[in-house]
Structure 1
Amino acid sequence: MQLQDHLPVDHRLGQVYRYSAGAIGVFLIVFGILGFTNHVGYFSTNGDHVLGMTSNGTLSLLSVLFGALLIGGAAIGGNTASTLNISVGILFILSGWVNLGLLDGNHNFLAFHMQNVIFSFLVGLALMLFGMYGRVTTHLPYDNPYWRSRHPRATGGVNQLPPRALPH
């Protein structure tokens, strides 16, 4: 089964994917815009403080782009928002690890400091958690479309519930 398959567009899990992507996307856009207002150079390794973190022009631009991407995924919703949350979450975690290695060096082109690294890890984990919510667990309810697609014999087909889960 692929992650983007089998979830009905109107399934209640779509709200989790949509709202989480939208909220984090809005925060990233606000952070990026506030970073632009400080007029820090695009490749400054020191950056300027914005919302408790440091930022430069490149980080501001990336924040706005990823924020817009997440809001676009939230507007589409459903599987797209979920898959996008997982993918962007992985990128945030990778960014945290890479920038942790670049701290206090001459190649710190995003002007990361430790608070940025921690933020990157936390946002990455949150996005992955929201993206995987209801998709990746061993205790999915019988009416979950992912459970049905993983157990076609028990359900008699992907679109049917197993006999023990039918309402009385």
Structure 2
Amino acid sequence: MELKDELPLDHKLARVYRWGAAGCGLVLLVFGCLGLADALSPFDTDGDRIAGMSTNGVLSLISVVVGLALVAGGIVGGNFASTLNMTVGALFLLSGFAHIFVLDKSANVLDFGMTNVIFSFVMGLVILTFGMYGRVSSRLPHDNPYWRRRHPREAALEARTRRPLPATAPTVTPLRLGRAETPNSSQ
């Protein structure tokens, strides 16, 4: 499976990738800006809280950078936004797993708490889902451009057997109720 398949510019999936990236990026951007506005010290681990999560200056800066990257991906859209969503979503999940092991230890330089770990898992799954939507599945519809790229023979066969609609619709004669007339009947 290749993830470099090209999506048509006007395909409806491009909106899902674009809005998913931009929406998640804005959430991260707000969290990071709130942390930076509090002028937190960079590696402080004393438990400063923003929006119910512990944070410090470095975590706020990382949130702003990732949020800006996702918003930029939303602006670009298309396959770029989808691939960016999948990458950032996977990194969020890995971050959640990594930080669950360093809770209450000196290696917890980003001041992660359990709420941060849960947020990292939830946000990672949301971003990953936006990136994979309509792109990675065992049962994609046959009109999906990714299905057509992965199954070129079947797509070509379907295109050949599909008859184009006529330019004008055929004329349908209305049914007459009453006395039946036959073409050979004389008057």
- TM bucket (normalised to shorter chain) is over 0.9
**Unmatched segments (≥5 aa) in structure 1:** none
Q: Secondary structure at the match of 2:15?
A: helix
Q: Secondary structure at the match of 2:49?
A: strand
Cα deviation, 1:133-157, whole Å, max 9, x if unaligned, reads 0011122111111110111111228
The structure having more radius of gyration, on CA atoms, is: 2
> For residues 48 and 163 of structure 1, do their structure 2 counterparts lie closer, same or farther at Cα, with a shift above 3 Å needed?
farther
1:139-150 alignment runs, 5 A limit: 139-150=139-150
Report how many residues are paired.
Answer: 165
Cα deviation, 1:104-156, whole Å, max 9, x if unaligned, reads 11111111000000000001011111100001112211111111011111122
Task: Identify the range of structure 1 (55-64 vs 43-52) with the bigger mean alpha-carbon deviation.
Answer: 43-52
* Runs (4+) off by over 2 Å: 160-164
Q: Which residue of 2 aligns with 1:42?
A: 42
**Unmatched segments (≥5 aa) in structure 2:** 166-187
Q: Which residue of 2 aligns with 1:51?
A: 51
Does 1:115 pair with 2:115?
Answer: yes
Deviation at 1:162, TM superposition (A): 6.2
Higher helix share: 1
Deviation at 1:167, TM superposition (A): 6.4
Deviation at 1:62, TM superposition (A): 0.1
Mapped contact 1:89–1:127 kept (Cα < 8 A): yes
Deviation at 1:43, TM superposition (A): 0.5
- Alignment RMSD (CA, Å): 1.7
Q: TM-score, normalised by structure 1?
A: 0.92
Amino acid at match of 2:129: L
Instruction: State the alpha-carbon separation in 2 of the partners of residues 2 and 123 from structure 1.
Output: 25
Mapped contact 2:5–2:149 kept (Cα < 8 A): no
Instruction: State the alpha-carbon separation in 2 of the partners of residues 156 and 146 from structure 1.
Output: 14
Q: Which residue of 2 aligns with 1:163?
A: 161
Q: Which residue of 2 aligns with 1:73?
A: 73
Deviation at 1:54, TM superposition (A): 1.0
Amino acid at match of 1:120: S
